[in-house]
């Protein structure tokens, strides 16, 4: 079958990083980020347009400088469980930290969402970007990079083992034989590794899709390797067409090197389309959006997130960029290293760095519906993504894309005209993982 594009929706609520002024828009409810009906409407609109998934981001640390949406938002799995009961087909992907959770509890929560939704759950595995999170969990220091990624790998392996606790047919519920459970089909995990010691089994059977779909956002070497080893979906950094091509090829190569089928990992780039009647109107609106959100103090605070929520306002803005390399190791190391290197090479002041990090950059997906559809097709055919994780500022913007761009992609055979399956795996074209306890005896017999 020909390749087709996958689409996911990432709600902005009242505005995340780079949308500092969104909450002021009269079309945006001031309580959107904590209104479950807002998310239900978003999910239903995306499902009506045949999107693959609703994607909910999360973090567990804030201070007063953080974006509006971060300051007051719902916990992802609670949110998605409510959305599940108002939708039938769209996947439900929630972000949860492998650093600040325990495998048994998190595996059970995602498996519960998988059952509630009939096999539509996905887990976006993060190692936690904000160093201040440690103090919300009784720890003085955030774990270093290597430890966080080693823990993440083992965490996913443990979760998958727990999700295999019951084989199919484990519950005959045979009244005549007085047999509710076939004990031979229940398996303890008995895992003992570097980071976890977990007995199991999980007290929940597998869902129609076998296991929740694993997503990850790998940028660093450690992140890319983790993604290639365990992820089935990736949220990619995007950038220019060439950068997106390079990332796509690198992840597919790494996936194959780990003995996996590269087609079993779907790469989503970020897209914030601006659609209008004409290209000129769309470009003008794109610039207006930038000016609405271009708040220097907020941008300076946003810069600090890469360095453990560091307060750059204590420095002279017009002095050379301060030496903060030691703060990057436990935070957003890859992004922070790039900022430091650029500041050093170009001899930039703190003000210049803050302005450059948030300077106006034209998006490729801006224009009339035909222009946006043409660009999406060009990027897709050039091998830059399997899907796009779409973010829209308002319901009106979502409607412009759904009513204007989606039909054009469908006419070109690039996007579905009906859901292929009832599960997230089925719609992404991913296989149902075999239960390890069912598979191993079959292999032995072969």
Q: Cα separation of 393 and 272, whole Å?
A: 8
Q: Which residues pair with 91 in a beta bridge?
A: 53
Question: In a 3-state reduction of DSSP, which class is residue 56?
Answer: strand
| Sequence-distant (≥ 6) Cβ neighbours of residue 273 within 8 angstroms | 363, 365, 366, 372, 390, 392, 397, 401, 405
220 has binding-site annotation:
yes
Cβ atoms of 201 and 185 closer than 8 Å: no
58 has binding-site annotation:
yes
95 has binding-site annotation:
yes
Q: For residue 165, count other CB atoms closer than 10 A to its CB.
A: 23
**DSSP code per residue over 118-152:** TS-EEEEEE--S-GGGGGGTT-SSPPPHHHHHHHH
Buried b / exposed e across 309-343, counting CB within 10 Å, b at 16+? bbebeebeeeeebbebeebbbbbbbbbbeebbeeb
| Side-chain half-sphere exposure of 395, counting CA atoms within 13 A | 13
| Sequence-distant (≥ 6) Cβ neighbours of residue 431 within 8 angstroms | 264, 425
Alpha helices, DSSP H, located in 165-314? 221-230, 241-257, 279-293, 296-305
Strands 387-390 and 366-367: unpaired
38 has binding-site annotation:
no
Q: Which residues pair with 215 in a beta bridge?
A: 124, 233
Tokens of 45: 């609109």
| Side-chain half-sphere exposure of 331, counting CA atoms within 13 A | 22
Cβ atoms of 244 and 376 closer than 8 Å: no
Q: For residue 125, count other CB atoms closer than 10 A to its CB.
A: 23
Q: For residue 237, count other CB atoms closer than 10 A to its CB.
A: 15
Cα 22-23-29 angle, rounded to 5 deg: 120
Over its C-alpha atoms, the chain yields an Rg (Å, rounded) of 23
Q: Detail the residues annotated as belonging to a binding site for FMN.
A: 58, 95, 149, 220
Annotated binding site: 58, 95, 149, 220
């Amino acid at each position: 079958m020909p390749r087709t594009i996958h689409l996911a929706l990432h709600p902005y609520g009242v505005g995340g990083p780079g949308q500092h002024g969104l909450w002021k828009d009269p079309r945006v409810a001031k309580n959107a980020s904590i209104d479950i009906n807002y998310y239900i409407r978003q999910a239903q609109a995306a499902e009506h347009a045949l999107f693959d998934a609703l994607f909910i981001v999360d973090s567990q640390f804030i201070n007063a400088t953080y974006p509006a949406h971060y300051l007051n938002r719902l916990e992802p799995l609670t949110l998605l469980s409510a959305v599940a009961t108002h939708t039938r087909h769209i996947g439900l992907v929630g972000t949860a930290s492998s650093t600040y959770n325990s495998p048994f509890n998190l595996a059970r929560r995602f498996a519960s969402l998988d059952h509630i939704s009939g096999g539509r759950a996905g887990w976006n595995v993060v190692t936690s970007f904000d160093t201040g999170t440690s103090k919300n969990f009784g720890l003085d220091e955030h774990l270093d990079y290597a430890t966080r990624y080693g823990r993440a790998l083992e965490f996913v392996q443990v979760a998958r083992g727990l999700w295999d606790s019951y084989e199919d047919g484990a519950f005959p519920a045979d009244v005549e034989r007085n047999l509710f459970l076939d004990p031979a089909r229940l398996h303890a995990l008995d895992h003992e590794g570097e980071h976890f010691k977990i007995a199991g089994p999980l007290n929940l059977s597998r869902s129609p899709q076998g296991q929740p779909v694993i997503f990850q956002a790998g940028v660093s070497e450690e992140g890319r390797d983790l993604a290639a080893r365990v992820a089935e979906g990736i949220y990619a950094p995007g950038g220019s067409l060439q950068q997106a091509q390079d990332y796509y090829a690198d992840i597919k190569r790494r996936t194959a090197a780990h003995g996996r089928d590269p087609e079993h990992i779907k790469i989503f780039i970020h897209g914030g389309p601006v659609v209008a009647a004409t290209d000129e109107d769309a470009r003008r609106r794109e610039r207006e959006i930038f000016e609405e959100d271009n708040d220097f103090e907020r941008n300076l605070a946003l810069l600090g997130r890469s360095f453990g929520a560091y307060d750059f306002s204590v420095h002279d803005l017009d002095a050379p960029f301060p030496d903060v390399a030691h703060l990057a190791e436990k935070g957003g190391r890859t992004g922070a290293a790039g900022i430091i290197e650029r500041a050093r090479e170009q001899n930039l002041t703190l003000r210049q760095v803050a302005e450059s990090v948030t300077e106006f950059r034209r998006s490729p997906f801006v224009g009339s519906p035909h222009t946006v559809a043409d660009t999406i097709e060009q990027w897709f055919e050039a091998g830059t993504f399997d899907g796009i994780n779409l973010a829209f500022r308002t319901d009106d913007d979502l409607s412009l894309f759904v009513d204007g761009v989606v039909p054009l992609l469908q006419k070109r055979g690039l996007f579905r005209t009906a859901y292929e399956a009832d599960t997230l795996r089925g719609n992404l074209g991913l296989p149902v993982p075999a239960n390890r306890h069912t598979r191993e005896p079959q292999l032995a017999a072969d």
